[in-house]
């Protein structure tokens, strides 16, 4: 990844940050500049700004430019766990470790590459790099996703997500034990002011985010939570739980790694290390089929790595249901 260090000249008059980047950096359009700013790849005097920021003179601008992504993803023969498929959409159970679509540094092995190897009729609304992709989950989060095969279906599903009418339920294993049995977390989530790869509920600019949670089982030092998303912001669950004092087990980015030393059981510590990801699974997805009007709901089992930890905790006889 290339990093450019720029200084906005004094005496030129105010100019929007995205406009300045578009005219200063070779082959960069204004929309590309806005995307980099939104993704936290640009800082002004060390902080992450909004694209509309007006530069006035003397500001130090740093922009990280990712390597180019292939214009069109290639079809790859990658096995898929298909839960449902018809002529309009396909529902898959994504494994942990698989990126949803190609991006900087990831041009192959993604869910999009696998989908193109399985079927060619994907919606074009997401563009060449993200055909059919209506929503995403993180690389190291497992679980259910719906993908559109045509533009009509894509638009209809996207509208349901925008209206928050899609049912999305996650299971998460977190450190600590929440005082209540259930609750609601609400904040504005945006790019972290200083760490560009992270999101934060304390960002100056962001989007409204709501997560509902329920404690299913409590174990010594750990709790299994059921979470329902009212909104779907980037890293929403990870940010909300971390800032509530209960980071996801295995989440190195949001504080889950530093809590491992508090687990006294050596075998449990080994199982958590072997997890090698955040303990988060998108268990349930429910939506109205755009063509038939039928409500469809898909419920997936915990993947083996998370189930192994839960099974050990249950066998140890330490569970206390909430």
Q: Mind telling me the catalytic residues?
A: 138
Q: What are phi and psi of 259, to 5 degrees?
A: -95, -5
Q: Fill in the DSSP letter of residue 313.
A: H
Q: How many whole angstroms separate alpha carbon 22 and alpha carbon 42?
A: 13
Q: Which residue has the tokens 């050990």?
A: 312
Q: How many whole angstroms separate alpha carbon 226 and alpha carbon 121?
A: 35
Q: Which residue has the tokens 């739980």?
A: 241
Q: How many whole angstroms separate alpha carbon 138 and alpha carbon 37?
A: 20
Q: Is the dihedral of CA 304, 306, 307, 309 positive or negative?
A: positive
Number of C-beta neighbours around residue 208 at 10 A:
11
Token pair recorded at residue 255? 């504080």
End-to-end CA distance of the chain: 47
The closest alpha carbon to 232, from 299, 307, 145, belongs to 145
Q: Fill in the DSSP letter of residue 34.
A: H
Collapsed DSSP state (helix, strand, coil) of residue 202: strand
Q: H-helix or E-strand containing 94?
A: strand 89-94
190 Cβ contact partners less than 8 Å away, ≥ 6 residues apart? 199, 200, 203, 204, 205, 206, 207
Characterise 293 by phi-psi region: left (phi > 0), alpha (psi -120 to 50), beta (else).
left
The strand order across the sheet containing 42-44 reads: 2-7, 60-65, 42-44
């Amino acid at each position: 990844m290339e990093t450019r260090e720029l200084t906005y000249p004094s005496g030129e008059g105010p100019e929007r940050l995205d406009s300045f980047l578009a005219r200063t950096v070779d082959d960069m359009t204004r929309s590309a500049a806005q995307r980099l700013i939104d993704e936290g790849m640009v800082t002004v005097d060390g902080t992450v700004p909004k694209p509309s920021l007006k530069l006035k003179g003397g500001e130090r601008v740093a922009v990280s430019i990712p390597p180019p992504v292939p214009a069109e993803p290639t079809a790859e023969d990658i096995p898929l766990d298909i839960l449902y498929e018809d002529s309009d959409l396909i529902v898959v159970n994504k494994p942990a470790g698989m990126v949803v679509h190609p991006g900087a540094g990831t041009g192959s092995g993604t869910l999009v590459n696998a989908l193109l190897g399985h079927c060619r009729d994907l919606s074009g609304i997401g563009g060449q790099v993200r055909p059919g992709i209506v929503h995403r989950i993180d690389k190291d989060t497992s679980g259910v996703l719906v993908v559109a095969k045509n533009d009509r279906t894509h638009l209809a599903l996207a509208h349901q997500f925008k209206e928050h009418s899609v049912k999305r339920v996650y299971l998460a294993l977190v450190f600590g034990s929440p005082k209540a049995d259930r609750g609601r977390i609400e904040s504005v989530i945006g790019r972290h002011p200083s760490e560009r790869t992270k999101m934060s509920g304390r960002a100056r600019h962001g989007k409204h985010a709501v997560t509902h949670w329920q404690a299913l089982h409590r174990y010594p030092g750990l709790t299994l939570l059921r979470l329902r998303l009212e909104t779907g912001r980037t890293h929403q669950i990870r940010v909300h739980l971390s800032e509530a004092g209960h980071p996801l087990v295995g989440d190195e980015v949001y504080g889950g790694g530093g809590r491992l030393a508090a687990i006294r059981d050596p075998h449990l510590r080994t199982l958590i290390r072997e997890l090698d990801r955040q303990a988060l699974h998108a268990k349930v997805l429910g939506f109205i089929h755009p063509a038939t009007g039928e409500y469809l709901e898909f419920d997936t089992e915990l993947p083996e790595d998370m189930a192994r930890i839960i099974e050990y905790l249950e066998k140890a006889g330490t569970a206390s249901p909430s």
